[in-house]
Every structure is written in C-alpha cells, then in structure tokens.
Structure 1
C-alpha cells in the first residue's frame, strides 16, 4: 500500500527548509531549487504545496511567529496567575531574544523579512505586521494592569517603544554587539524606566 502523507508535516518540513536557507544565505538565496535541496525533496513537490515563492515565504514567517508564541504560552503557563505584569512582559520579551540556536535562527529570519519589506523584495510590511501588532497588544494590556504604579505610563505608546527596543536588542545580539547578560540588563533597565523599580511591580495578572 502507498504510504500516507501528512500534508501539514510536509508543509512544516518545507518552511523549516526555507528558514535554514535564509539563515545560511539570506532571503535572496531562497528559490524553489534551494528549498527543495535543503528539504531533500523535489522542486515539483515544493511547488505542489506552495504554488509561488511568496506563498512559502509568508508561510515561513507565520511558522516563526507561531514557534515564538508557543514558547511564550509555555512560559506564561509556568508563571501562573500570581505573575506580575512585569514578569509577564519580561517572559514575552525573553522569548524574542536570540538566547539559543532556535531563537537565533528566528531572529535572523525575521530580520531578513524586515529588510525585504523595506526594500520591496516581494514582501510588504503589511503582510508581516499581524504578529508584531498582536505582541504590542499583549504588552499594552499588561501595562494597563500596571498603570497604578505610575501615571507616566501610556500603555499603547510604551508597548510600541518596548517592542521596538527589544527588536533592536535582538538584532544587536546577532553579530555579538550585545551579550546575553547585557541584553538582560538592558531589558531590566527598560522595564524599570516604564514600570518603575522591580520591587514596585507587585500587581498580579488577572484572568
């Protein structure tokens, strides 16, 4: 009997191959041929699952953001209901930093997509903004829970500022400009500036 194929698994294999090609050679290295070679399958099979390069690029971007979201939810569950807004925000932001090889690869891939959206290389910013906007919304919600700490907090603007800063820190870690320890210190200082000293962030997260 012919072997049954799990199509979702096959699609993940292809997007994982796209990630590796981007990490090794940048977005410009991504072709049907390079992805097929990296995945160990035929070009025709890649085309069967993704009719255009644009399709598998956007699917790859979604897969990166979904991986980050899954890690965040694991951290969130581990924190429990007693977590403060600062602890929740810190957990989220740490998952966006390239502190291990999978997160480093994700940071490289996301950086490549950002560059492509700026240069007009087939991917527009609007097509990759859903996940960043969702992250801003999560951070803003936690800042709203912490507003009693300081009247200076503007949840929406401060959430944008925090995510912009963490994106810069993540990209700075890739070439070694920031060490993991310095990145942690910068994150703490950023949250101190927005939320006040650590000891003040005692308001629990509510369901």
Structure 2
C-alpha cells in the first residue's frame, strides 16, 4: 500500500473567529490571536465546508480539436454553522443591526442587512497538528433557514464569500503539520 496512514487529517476540534478587515492576522499557529479576533462560539459537529464555482469556456480548432479552455468568474465560499446566539453571531447574521442592554434586558433592533466585509480565521486541530485558515476579507452572503423549536437547536448556517486580494490570494493556510513541509 502506497501512502502513510499518519497523513489523513480528522479535524477533531475547531474554532472560528471574525474581526474587522485589516486586523493583524496570525503568522503561525502558536501565537494567540489579536484580541480583535472574536470567537463565534460553538460550531456544528458537521464542520466547515468549502465550495468552488467558476465559468469555463472551451475553444476548438477546425475539426473539433480542443485547443484551450478559458476560466473566469472564480468564486470560493466557506460554510460554517454557528450554534450560539451571541453578539458576534448576531452581528454576522444581521449586519447593520444593533443591540442594547438596559437593566438586564437586551433589545435587538434588526435592520435590512448592509455590506459588512470581515476577516475570518478558521482554526482546526487534529491531535498535535494545528491549521489556521486566514481569510483576510470575506462577507456573509447568506444565512440558512433558522429553526426556532423545542426539538432542534437554533443554528445559524453562514455562507461566507471569500474576496481575493489584488494579487489573487484568497486565503492563507498556516500549519505545523509535518506532512505539509516543503523540501527544496
């Protein structure tokens, strides 16, 4: 059997953080995050998922021979499901809305969502291996249906569109995984 059974990853722990765009991003997996990175709290056991979408156009030479494919409109998204109804999740789900607490009672004023790009970090752990996916700029594009029930947890499925930097970078993966080591 070719391969190494130590290579596959089962991410047994994860945290997801949001911060204003431009917040100092982590450069390693050991240093604590800047205090501006706020945790969204508990995440669904389903984990996070990433999707990719792009258009492609095939070009053919006379006789039907494929000679080139042009790719455009690349879009990358990440989906996480938040299980807490805290202030961070409220802000991601309802950008432009507000919350005020007076005499122990909180009133949330929910308004029509406004554009609210944020930076994100998804931190994953598999035993002694850690990976931080740093997304410098993204935005909650959609929120899944929210169930208010006595038989299911209230959960907020966030679909976050990742915006590329001027150089085309979508995100950085920083890891101490020995399998990721680049050798010259």
TM-score for both structures, normalised by structure 1: 0.22
Q: Structure 1 or 2: larger helix share? A: 1
Name the larger-Rg structure.
Answer: 2
Q: Structure 1 or 2: larger strand share? A: 2
